[in-house]
Amino acid sequence: MDSYPDCSGCAGKRLAKDFVGGRTMRLRFIIDGRKLLRNCGRTVLHLPTTSLKVGRVTPCAPRHHSTAAAYKGLTRPTKARTAARRRLTRPTEVAAIPLLTTILAALALLNAGCRKSETGPATAAKPKIALVMKSLANEFFSTMAEGAKKHQAANPDRYDLIVNGTRNETDLAGQVNLVEQMIARQVNAIVIAPADSRALVTVLKRAKEAGILVVNIDNKLDADVLKQAGLTVPFVGPDNRSGARQVGEALAGRLKAGDKVAIIEGIPTAFNGQQRRLGFEDAMKAAGINIIGVQSGQWEMEKANSVAAAMLSEHPDLKAILCANDNMALGAVAAIQSAGKSGQVLVVGFDNIGAVRPMIADGRVVATADQHADQLAVFGIEAALKILKGEAPPADQTTAVDLVTK
């Protein structure tokens, strides 16, 4: 609670709330500093033009003013008004409360309006872009994050960047919470690689309703769910099916018709996982290769390791395992090594992360696809900046995906 040592500094009209004896409530206008002296020892609510403060007024003079002394010094009209106020009934006194509330609310709105006019519209400042990704434990997304940070560092005057990621690939609730945090922080745009193509649509709709631009990267949101939600979100990313088909064709060149292979897919409800599985199936069917099973590794290395170990045990004549990302390919390679089948069972992946490149070089991994993780978020950020400036309409943009072999 603020203290006002100099009553003379309170000149001008101010609205005061005065509680007498803890019961009676009265509204009065304090005309100048002298009138404030008559309120010594009571709680007064000051409403200056720029702020709202509750304070306890301290007298200018060293002596204290008793109620009796203050009453004695009043003129006759003032005494009459004071006596009339003392005769107010409780209902009349309480009726002042809603009046005070209404006045306070009106003044608060006026004050807010003044602050807004002083700072100017939010769009005049640099846009704030939020990058929301999946698990940063996955090298692909940590590379994506680093690429985005470097781009912002090279363009500090164009935008501010907030980078977020989940604990793991299946942390849908965590990613929803990240989006809600970005809504609360009133960012201008959210560039998101959704952990699930359907589950994130609802919270992204809330973001759009809050006036936030949403740009989808990496894993495309489900078109049917978007349509049901009445939502349009531009997608910036590669053709995952085409990329996976190229990887599958590279593997097929090392096999013969009738060989048995298995697929370890990502999260089944993730659009990019679905597309990569379809691309693998396209290549295998075209080559006459037998797919004996498809199981999910949830994009995680440890999960894929367990799945691959079970496949190798159940199908001793398995010739290859097609993994929908490199993280799972690492798990499959470890399972093959543990089973003593290195060189007998081939592996392919997708993403071209740093950890898989030595395996490409020594043949433990036959092929992968590079969708340029360090640039993928940058593509989304650039698209968002153009849309915010009105330089481009919200539209899908297909980015490059390249086959990587030894």
Would you place residue 263 in the very low, low, confident or very high pLDDT band (cuts 50, 70, 90)?
A: very high
- The pairing of strands 213-217 and 189-192 is parallel
Question: Is-same-fold flag (124-238+375-399; 240-370)?
Answer: yes
Would you place residue 392 in the very low, low, confident or very high pLDDT band (cuts 50, 70, 90)?
A: confident
The model's pTM is 0.69
Task: Give residue 162's identity as a one-letter amino acid code.
Answer: I
Residue 142: pLDDT over 80: yes
- The pairing of strands 43-46 and 53-57 is antiparallel
Q: Tell me, what's the pLDDT at 92?
A: 39
Q: 87-96, 121-130, 169-178, 346-355: which range is least confident on average?
A: 87-96
CB distance 296 to 268 below 8 Å = yes
CATH of 240-370, one of 3.40.50.10480, 3.40.50.2300, 3.40.50.720, 3.40.1160.10: 3.40.50.2300
pLDDT tens sequence across 207-245: 999 999 999 999 999 999 999 999 999 999 999 999 999
| Mean pLDDT to the nearest integer, 104-124 | 42
| Mean pLDDT to the nearest integer, 133-146 | 95
95-102 long-range CB contacts below 8 Å, 24 or more apart? 96/25, 96/26, 96/27, 97/25, 99/27, 100/15, 100/17, 100/27
pLDDT tens sequence across 308-346: 999 999 999 999 999 999 999 999 999 999 999 999 999
316-319 long-range CB contacts below 8 Å, 24 or more apart? 317/260, 318/260, 318/261, 318/262, 318/292, 318/345, 319/255, 319/259, 319/260, 319/261, 319/345, 319/346
Domain coordinates of the chain in residue numbers? 2-119, 124-238+375-399, 240-370
Would you place residue 93 in the very low, low, confident or very high pLDDT band (cuts 50, 70, 90)?
A: very low
For 124-238+375-399, CATH number? 3.40.50.2300
| Mean pLDDT to the nearest integer, 345-360 | 97
Q: Tell me, what's the pLDDT at 124?
A: 53
